Amino acid sequence: MGRRETDGGELVPGTLDMLILKAVANGSLHGYAIAEWIHERSHDVLRVDEGALYPALHRLELRGMLAAEWGVSENNRRAKYYGLTREGREHLGLEKERWARLSSAIGFVMESA
């Protein structure tokens, strides 16, 4: 238990922001839920490092991609919810396209004979 579970669950560098934006695209979530959401949706493959998650959230908030709001969580605690701004949504769209291009390009390369 002492070691982090790093069985291939590290994120591809530079993709965290995009994943976060995607996570909140359908409604505001708090930080913990964002990490869980990414974990679940990746079929338990991707693990978001908490040490990187929150700085990333704050950075996105300061850049105006996310809007944060304090709310009450499902278990009745004060929690900070992050939601997508218009700017964030635009950015997410661009990132998505870029990622699709990039991943298919990598696929072409890897599958070539």
Partner 1 sequence: MGETLIRYRIRDGERMNKQSLREGLLRIVALFRRARGERDMADELAFHLAMKQQKYIKQRGLNSTDAMAVAKRELGGVEKWKEACRDVNRARAIEDLARDLALAARMLRKTPAFTAAALLTLTLAIGSNTAIFSLINAVLLRPLNVPAAHQLTVLRIQPADSFGYAFSYPLFKYLEKDTHVFSHTFGFAGRNLQIHTANGVERIPGQLVSGHYFSALQVNPQLGRYITPSDDRPGVPSGAVAVISDRFWRNWFNASPKVLGQAIALNNVVVTVVGVMPEGFTGADRDQQPDVFVPMETEPLMDAPYSNIAAGMQANWFNVGARLHDGITLERAAAYLRSSSRAIYKAIAPEEEFRFSGNTHAELYVTTEPGITGYSYLRLRFTKPFSLIMALVILVLFVACLNLATLLMARASSRERELATRLALGASRGRLMRQLLTESLLLAMLGTALGSATAPFAANLLTLFLASPDPLQPTLNITPDLRVFAFTAIVAALATILTGLAPALRSTGRNLQAPIREGCGTLRGTERRRLWPNVLSAAEVAFALMLITGASLLGFSLVKLHRIPVGFDPQGLVFLQFDMSKQSRDGKALIQIYRDIETGLAAMPGITSVSFVDMAPLYGSWWTGDVATPGNPPHELFRNHVGPEYFRAMRTPLLGGREFRWSDTDESGRVAIINEAAARILFPSANPVGQRIAFDGGKTLADVVGVVADAKYAELRDSAPPAVYSSITQDMKNRLSLQAIVRLRNGTSPVSVVASAGRAIRKLDDEIPPPVATTMEQTISQALSTERMMASLGLFFAGVALLITGIGLYGTLTYTTARRTGEIGIRIAIGARRGDVIGLVCRANVGVALAGCVGGLLASLATSRLIASFLYNTSPKDPVILGTSALVLICVAVTASLLPAIRASRIDPITAIRYE
Name the site residues for partner 1 (rule: CB under 8 A).
1-2, 4, 30-32, 49-52, 54-55, 58-59, 62, 64, 70, 73, 75, 77-80, 85-87
| Whether 88 contacts 109, CB under 8 Å | no
The nearest distance, CB 31 to partner 1, in angstroms, is: 6
The nearest distance, CB 53 to partner 1, in angstroms, is: 9
The nearest distance, CB 110 to partner 1, in angstroms, is: 32
Nearer to partner 1, 12 or 52 (CB): 52
Nearer to partner 1, 80 or 96 (CB): 80
Nearer to partner 1, 62 or 106 (CB): 62
Q: Which string of DSSP letters, residue by residue, matches 65-106?
A: SEEEEEEE-TTS-EEEEEEE-HHHHHHHHHHHHHHHHHHHHH
| Whether 82 contacts 25, CB under 8 Å | no
Which amino acid, residue 13? P
**Dist. CA 40–CA 66, nearest whole Å:** 22
Q: What is the arrangement of strands in the sheet containing 66-72, beginning at the earlier edge strand?
A: 29-30, 78-84, 66-72
Nearer to partner 1, 54 or 99 (CB): 54
The nearest distance, CB 80 to partner 1, in angstroms, is: 5
